[in-house]
Structure 1
């Protein structure tokens, strides 16, 4: 049951232009969109195309006047509310209408690409987070308990209700954010990259929820840089590039053209459980965009006397129920993990959400310390080595880029601490790393003003610039469009080619199979052959 589901709602947007304060040009130009009850609309585009800006406008997370200059109109037509049929017209003047984000959110549920940013951050459990908006509306407790239990079941969070949201994996956070958007029963759902960081079970759960909402009459807008199983279910696609619509119409029609490839949209399999694969040529004979081809990987030979670049010996780790407490044996997240990665080898680790993949990577550079066992880099134990020193040899790309970015410009970000490793040539190294990920023209940009793909690549550049002997990459394909995936592919191949070991944790099985020498699966606390 969903508390007080709003009436059938249509969302109309006509954005003549929208520019963020301080930007030289518009982020959106001439975008028209309509989301009717019970329909699924997909807005596709690569990094910097403007799709997330459109989503924020639709969800009232970005407001004309406060955040930028908006010319156009927005309209929420709610059944049974005559006043809602009047559009809100914007000209960029000081007397433009003012949207109340709280009232708007009652009808439009919005999940941003950074799912964690929509959570309250003041609730101690998943259950309390799901109930947050219901409490604010004064929903009776008995109804609130029933609603939260229903949403937890629909999002696969039933076993996590008493967990601290801060301890959830990226995929679990994504499902929690979707649950928080659905719990109020809005008439419109706007979902930015709703399948990002999800394992296959999570993908199925979110897709089932989307289709159930459509059956209830919810208007749904999905924003994505993937032409995947979910977006292919849409009645209509809008393709954006540089803030403008380059194609609009049924998916089958657009798949036959060039707009997806030009924008950087990634084509994946139309089946939700299948691995990404290149699309066959359309009947028209036009070329179809496809994921980047695998670059040749160096041959890895275990030579006598060659030490492993990275080794885990009988490593066990877990979190106690209370801060500082020792976990019990039956609550261990990792149990007796043994692993060797040779110089020049690319290893991919897959596994379900919450299996401990990110935790495994944090053990590699000392952010976590094993409760038992040992981690060795280039044959030396890191047990007594400060994390800052370990980081000189093992570069870690975090799952969430914003955890890794803190400087005022992209160049300063890559330069931070680099002169301590390289007395000569640090600026040249930083600029070369930016060029390797395609950000040479953005060295003066503020990191948090870059699109999500740019932030991901910038974080990667901070790792590459140090030439570590081991690269540990946590969900490196997340937020990357087709152009970003090409940069990542080249970086992984180049690192392996110079002899670095690469360990990447990913849910992107297609990417892993195309770009890794070996695949392992982390499940039940142990690494198993894939």
Structure 2
């Protein structure tokens, strides 16, 4: 066996056991996917298996993994966590240089570094992006870059903590296929909330439950929320808009768009198509070179930030970066206080309750698991009762229970007359929750009702 976990127990200080007498054997070349809900201990298991949480119960070829020297350990096992952007060096100006960062720090000869970098870029489909600035990559491209950096270390074991959450369906399938084509003696341990993509590629499936690994069983799906009311009027209007990150390659040119009040609009399209950029333009976080955007009667460009913030709430892809307060309650009270609304505590508690978080009101946001943290960001975004709610891949990484809470909140928001605009790569989530689809591809945008996919209303 390459990796053996025997009777592994782990608990965080002052807390109950997260892993309890857990056993796992991972032979060379084995591909295993561990499926579990939010807060079940997937990330803890990943850290233990990578030797980051020392335990004599974690063995590598019969030796305690924690006893391996640092250079030997990083050449043995590589972990890519849920936030791949945080694993980048921050010192590299190109994708190629970023992938070279690890092998260079091993002191390898230049020729070996170059060979490893080229092989890793090829394995992850990044060769065409070799000279791209890592800070200008999409979420899916950043995920593949982090994995490529890990592969360049030539580990015997690759551990991936929810690696598919930033990817569209095509990219998910492509990544899992690439993982099956890695060196045949490299073991891969993936941890995720969904089994579908891993099952399709023949990964052995296991389920983490009550601190132990069990044979996999599909988790029940909650029933979908109630239907939304018919929309009326426009919440967002865009007129003659031009925008480009690079003047030589405009992303949007002459864009015209109307999005209705009371709608749930799913923005779909391939990674890097401009979905997040469009949402940032609507939220006033990017400025167009030409054109006009109006949200709930507020013109985005000339408006003061506080005026715009009064009518919209936004949850970014990396929602952890939005937290400023020491409790969920204080976080949810920030916007009501900013806008001097009556009873900020009451508004905050109602927002938390809408996401099923009222029992955690006095807990620290960053002490929570991924599902609770994402829903906390949603609660903070809706507490001041905005007219527009913008969600950038907020459903990613949520188990069925937490995803259902988010779906319920979307339904309640649109039933109150608000509009929800959400980027999503999960077609099932789109079908359950969207009244409209905004398809983005190559700078072109097509708006259609979900029942009329393919019938474009405007470009």
Q: Structure 1: state its 5+ residue gaps.
A: 1-8, 65-69, 78-84, 89-96, 249-253, 262-288, 321-326
Residues paired across the two proteins, number: 448
Deviations 1:364-386 (A, max 9, x none): 12111111111101233221112
> 1:129 and 1:438, CA in 2 relative to 1: closer, same or farther beyond 3 A?
same
Q: Distance in 2 between matches of 1:227 and 1:425?
A: 43
2:344 is matched with: 426
1:144 is matched with: 113
1:178 is matched with: 147
> 1:415 and 1:421, CA in 2 relative to 1: closer, same or farther beyond 3 A?
same
8 A Cα contact 1:366 1:386, kept in partner: no
Deviations 1:329-363 (A, max 9, x none): xx112222221111101111101111111111111
2:10 is matched with: 18
Determine helix, strand or coil for the equivalent of 1:206: helix
2:363 is matched with: 445
1:297 is matched with: 228
2:450 is matched with: none
Determine helix, strand or coil for the equivalent of 1:390: helix
Determine helix, strand or coil for the equivalent of 1:133: helix
2:82 is matched with: 113
Determine helix, strand or coil for the equivalent of 2:17: coil
Equivalent of 1:495 in 399, 405, 413: 413
Residue range with higher mean Cα deviation, 228-237 or 150-159: 228-237
Q: Distance in 1 between matches of 2:80 and 2:223?
A: 28
1:265 is matched with: none
1:76 is matched with: 60
Aligned pairs for 1:253-292 (under 5 A) are: 254-255=216-217, 260-261=218-219, 289-290=220-221, 292=223
Aligned pairs for 1:290-329 (under 5 A) are: 290=221, 292-300=223-231, 302=232, 306=233, 308-320=234-246, 327-328=247-248
8 A Cα contact 1:174 1:196, kept in partner: no
Deviations 1:142-185 (A, max 9, x none): 33223322221221212222222122111111111111111122
1:129 is matched with: 98
> 1:314 and 1:353, CA in 2 relative to 1: closer, same or farther beyond 3 A?
same
2:63 is matched with: 86
8 A Cα contact 2:276 2:423, kept in partner: yes
Residue range with higher mean Cα deviation, 47-56 or 165-174: 165-174
8 A Cα contact 1:175 1:202, kept in partner: no
Deviations 1:281-317 (A, max 9, x none): xxxxxxxx236525312122x4xxx4x1111112221
1:364 is matched with: 282
Q: CA deviation at 1:101?
A: 4.4
8 A Cα contact 1:112 1:191, kept in partner: yes
Residue range with higher mean Cα deviation, 52-61 or 486-495: 52-61
Q: Distance in 2 between matches of 1:159 and 1:314?
A: 32
1:32 is matched with: 23
TM-score (norm 2): 0.92
Aligned pairs for 1:197-276 (under 5 A) are: 197-213=166-182, 216-231=184-199, 233-234=201-202, 236-245=204-213, 247-248=214-215, 254-255=216-217, 260-261=218-219
Q: Distance in 1 between matches of 2:159 and 2:64?
A: 19
Q: Distance in 2 between matches of 1:147 and 1:408?
A: 43
Determine helix, strand or coil for the equivalent of 1:203: helix
TM-score (norm 1): 0.80
8 A Cα contact 1:11 1:35, kept in partner: yes
Q: Distance in 2 between matches of 1:100 and 1:438?
A: 44
Q: Distance in 1 between matches of 2:85 and 2:319?
A: 12
Q: Distance in 1 between matches of 2:320 and 2:17?
A: 25
> 1:187 and 1:98, CA in 2 relative to 1: closer, same or farther beyond 3 A?
closer
Q: Distance in 2 between matches of 1:170 and 1:15?
A: 37
